[in-house]
Amino acid sequence: MTIHREGYKSIGWVGLVLLVLNIVCYKLMCCCSCNWICNIFAGISLIFFLFVVSFFRIPSRKLTIDDKAVVSPCDGKVVVIEEVVDEEYFKEKRLQVSIFMSPANVHVNRNPVSGQVVYNQYHKGKYLVAWNPKSSTENERHSVVIKKGNTEILVKQIAGAVAKRIVNYLSVGQEVKQTEELGFIKFGSRVDLLLPVGTKIDVALNEVVKGGVSVIATL
């Protein structure tokens, strides 16, 4: 397991703040009768620090490379499988698969297919809870369309009530490879896939998937 580069600054600041708070705590409560309070605070600080570190983890995995597969762009739980009318790019019906990422999930986002980036757009918006259906169109989000042959797939990174920083590494015209990093979303959030209507879906509602490993659909 390694730590994602997006986490270096956050982990450093959290560690520094917790260290200062613990030093202050021990200096203010230096009497023996109050040491137990400082010890409890130190324990809680350590647990919180380890949680922040784990949030930015990149576990070792055997990634799925399959020319006919749409691989999951993230870890999480499938919360939506339905036809929708996409007003942003396609202007027609698409099959939407949405994956909810809890704060405990790995938050690296990966390319579901290989191809060329033909669309890349950031949208300001609200911070509704990520499982709210309106979050797909009203929340802060970053949309990318990857063209593979004659098929175009839209990947939408969506901020949630806690996640307020979306990082996207792609640019229009770029050739990308399946399972390579697409971006990162800090803390709980959601990723939508918009696929052609009629695409064979290989997951079910409430199924837990792994980014870069689980096959979402077959082209």
Q: Are 154 and 193 in contact (CB under 8 A)?
A: yes
Strands 92-101 and 108-110: unpaired
Over its C-alpha atoms, the chain yields an Rg (Å, rounded) of 20
Specify whether 189 is catalytic: yes
Q: Which amino acid does the sequence have at 42?
A: A
Q: Return mean pLDDT, the chain.
A: 87
The active-site residue, picked from 72, 135, 189, 214, is 189
Helix (H), strand (E) at residue 18: helix 8-28
Q: What architecture does CATH give domain 69-218?
A: Distorted Sandwich (2.70)
DSSP codes, 93-125: EEEEEEEEE-TTS--EEE-SS-EEEEEEEEE--
pLDDT per residue rounded down to tens, the chain (219 residues): 788 778 788 889 989 999 998 888 877 776 666 777 788 888 898 988 888 887 788 888 899 999 999 999 999 999 999 999 999 999 999 999 999 988 888 889 999 999 999 999 998 866 555 555 555 656 788 999 999 999 999 999 998 655 557 889 999 999 999 999 999 887 668 899 999 999 999 999 999 999 999 999 999
Cβ neighbour number for residue 194 with a 10 Å cutoff: 23
Task: Render 134-165 in DSSP notation, one character per residue.
Answer: THHHHB-EEEEEEEETTEEEEEEEEE-SS---
Q: How far apart are CA 2 and CA 84, in angstroms?
A: 37
Cα dihedral sign for 64, 65, 70, 71? positive
| Residues 171, 58: Cα–Cα separation, whole Å | 23
Q: Which residue has the tokens 């009318």?
A: 85
Listed by start position, the domains of the chain span 2-58, 69-218
Point out which residues pair with 2 in neighbouring strands.
58
| pTM assigned to the model | 0.81
> What element of type H or E holds 22?
helix 8-28
